[in-house]
Chain A
Amino acid sequence: MSSSNHIISAKVREQFPILHQEINGKPLVYFDNAATTQKPQVVIDAISGYYSGYNANIHRGIHHLAEKATSAFEQTRKGIQRFLNAAKQEEIIFTYGTTDGINLIAQTYGRAFLNEGDEIIISTMEHHSNIVPWQMLCEEKGCILKVIPINDEGELLMEEYKKLLTNKTKIVSVVYASNALGTVNPVKDIIDAAHEVGAVTIIDAAQATSHIKIDVQQLDTDFLCFSAHKLYGPTGMGALYGKEDLLNKMPPWRGGGEMIKEVSFEKTTYNELPYKFEAGTPNIADVIALQTALDFVNELGLENIASYEQELLEYATEALEAIEGLTIIGKAKEKVSVISFIMDGIHPQDIGVILDQQGIAIRTGHHCTQPLMQRFGIVGTSRASFAVYNTKEEVDKLVAGLQKVKRLLA
């Protein structure tokens, strides 16, 4: 570890109050960051600061607090626009998270523009949230779901993908970085090939935003979804990016307050973008706190975060590979800081229980990617995932913990 990186991690750790506690009598080692990252104090303060200082319903209020809340709320929209390099702030729709964003597209664009026999392409490594919404749409509209296969390393077979594309392909929806394997997919190539047959593209960026600098204009993707809570922000909120012309063409989804222009019992007209898709009082506090999380990430620099995490990933990969009987699942050339592994003759759940006794939090199971687990012929994996506040010393504890797992269980 270079000394500058070491300083980054030590300084960063101080900002996360949750990390300074003991679990089962041992200092917490939190390696479940792909499930959700912890929150720095500034993000926690932003939430309580809103409730204790300027809680008010946004947009139509004329009093001081409502204006203050509205301005902070809309500030985050601009912040996300800059974070993703979107052309316009109207292209940023607040959602409950990545799953909500994908469902919004399926239920609006999908229901309005897809017909019987149209094809939707996803990949083998999708999270259930990028499988089930499309299956629901296929059932309703008679569309066909096609799946891009992967190789044993956990990389998409791009030639096979290109063979799946036809003039019937209407949607290509793939994950940027796999939550179960860590694989970073060549999304630019996927998007370009999809556009050649006139399909629209959706990128599930849930696992990408905290590790990879995203530029939606350079990618030229039609849609992209992410969740705040995997980006050091609060749970229960996220955003959907969509190209303006597409969002304008799409019918609204949820009906209610804020998304309307005028309502009468005869006819309702709808609001402009982005409000057309934001019915009801939104999650104001968490939207505001997401901007604080973006500031936290921007100040550290996504490139610095990524290079530090890559160091941890390499260090951990080498150390885990040295454990006899341990196999890493997902050996793509390009990965985010996620290591999935299995151990000979030991059920992942047993690994998780014994590590938890040692204060080490990892995730075990199918990671909501059951078809991917079936592809590898396994019931599940154990997954350690690293964030900017993790250290090599913690990786050493994981390795020692796994030795204990072997001693107790093998």
Chain B
Amino acid sequence: MTINEIQDEIIEDFELFDDWEGKYEYIIDLGKKLPEMSDEYKTDENIIKGCQSVVWLHAYEKEGIVYFEADSQAIIVKGLVSMLTKVLSGQKAEDIWNADLYFIDKVGLAGHLAQTRSNGLASMLKQMKTYALAFSSKEFKV
């Protein structure tokens, strides 16, 4: 599936909820279901600096496809992180770099990506794109 197809699927999922509680129950559920990252990747270099909860992001590349794994101490952040990796992991580096993540706004979670939230999510998204750029420039060099 392309990045936009996955985004559209998430938007459709969220249309089922008519109040905030349903929405958050769903996000919390995503957070609970996201497999815990193995300790070997929970390194200081993989920490996305956020004020309140730690977010770890591990990225690797295989034949032009970039994969992400992520984790967080806080369950709601973990749920949001799960959505971001679902959309961007397993995609071409170039597509990740160029991705327009319109689903965040559409499902009413834009506030969570605001810098003021200081939960590291905005920094995480930036880091994901930076990885993608780094991996794609490596390709160019080869």
In the complex, B51 has a CB within 8 A of chain A: yes
Task: Enumerate chain B residues within 8 angstroms of A353, measured Cβ to Cβ.
Answer: 24, 76
Quick check: A408 and B52 within 8 Å, CB to CB?
no
Q: How far is the CA of A368 from the CA of B103 in the complex (A)?
A: 34
Measured between C-beta atoms, what is the minimum distance from B10 to chain A in Å? 19
User: Which residue of chain A is the closest to B29 with respect to CB atoms?
Assistant: A408
User: Which residue of chain B is the closest to A380 with respect to CB atoms?
Assistant: B52
In the complex, B99 has a CB within 8 A of chain A: no
Quick check: B51 and A365 within 8 Å, CB to CB?
yes
Quick check: A350 and B51 within 8 Å, CB to CB?
no
Of residues 7 through 55 on chain B, the ones whose CB sits less than 8 Å from some CB of chain A are: 20-21, 24-25, 28, 51-53
Task: Enumerate chain A residues within 8 angstroms of B53, measured Cβ to Cβ.
Answer: 347, 349, 379
Quick check: A357 and B24 within 8 Å, CB to CB?
yes
Interface mask (B104-116 → A, CB under 8 Å = 1, otherwise 0): 0000000000000
- In terms of DSSP, what is the predominant structure of the interface of chain A? helix
User: Which residue of chain B is the closest to A25 with respect to CB atoms?
Assistant: B20
User: Which residue of chain A is the closest to B25 with respect to CB atoms?
Assistant: A408
Total interface residues on B, CB under 8 Å, equals 14
Of residues 363 through 394 on chain A, the ones whose CB sits less than 8 Å from some CB of chain B are: 364-365, 379-380
Task: Enumerate chain A residues within 8 angstroms of B122, measured Cβ to Cβ.
Answer: none
In the complex, A233 has a CB within 8 A of chain B: no
Task: Enumerate chain B residues within 8 angstroms of A350, measured Cβ to Cβ.
Answer: 28, 74-77
Q: How far is the CA of A408 from the CA of B73 in the complex (A)?
A: 16
A350-B76, A379-B73 are known contacts. Are A408 and B21 too (CB-CB below 8 A)?
Answer: yes
Quick check: A347 and B20 within 8 Å, CB to CB?
no
User: Which residue of chain A is the closest to B20 with respect to CB atoms?
Assistant: A357
In the complex, B119 has a CB within 8 A of chain A: yes
Task: Enumerate chain A residues within 8 angstroms of B51, measured Cβ to Cβ.
Answer: 365
Task: Enumerate chain B residues within 8 angstroms of A352, measured Cβ to Cβ.
Answer: 52
Measured between C-beta atoms, what is the minimum distance from A347 to chain B in Å? 4
Quick check: A347 and B74 within 8 Å, CB to CB?
yes
Interface mask (A336-372 → B, CB under 8 Å = 1, otherwise 0): 0000000000111110111001000000110000000
Measured between C-beta atoms, what is the minimum distance from B135 to chain A in Å? 31
Quick check: A365 and B21 within 8 Å, CB to CB?
no
In the complex, A10 has a CB within 8 A of chain B: no
Quick check: B28 and A408 within 8 Å, CB to CB?
yes
Interface mask (A2-33 → B, CB under 8 Å = 1, otherwise 0): 00000000000000000000001000000000
Q: Give me 13 A-to-B residue pairs in the complex whose CB atoms sit less than 8 angstroms apart, sorted by A's number.
A: A24-B20, A346-B75, A347-B74, A350-B28, A350-B74, A350-B76, A350-B77, A354-B76, A357-B21, A380-B52, A408-B25, A408-B28, A409-B28
Q: 9 closest A-B pairs (Cβ-Cβ)? A: A347-B74, A349-B74, A365-B52, A349-B52, A349-B53, A357-B20, A350-B76, A350-B74, A353-B76
**Further contacts, 13 of them, CB under 8 A, given A350-B76, A364-B52, A379-B53:** A24-B20, A347-B53, A347-B75, A348-B74, A349-B119, A354-B76, A357-B20, A357-B24, A408-B21, A408-B25, A408-B28, A409-B28, A409-B75
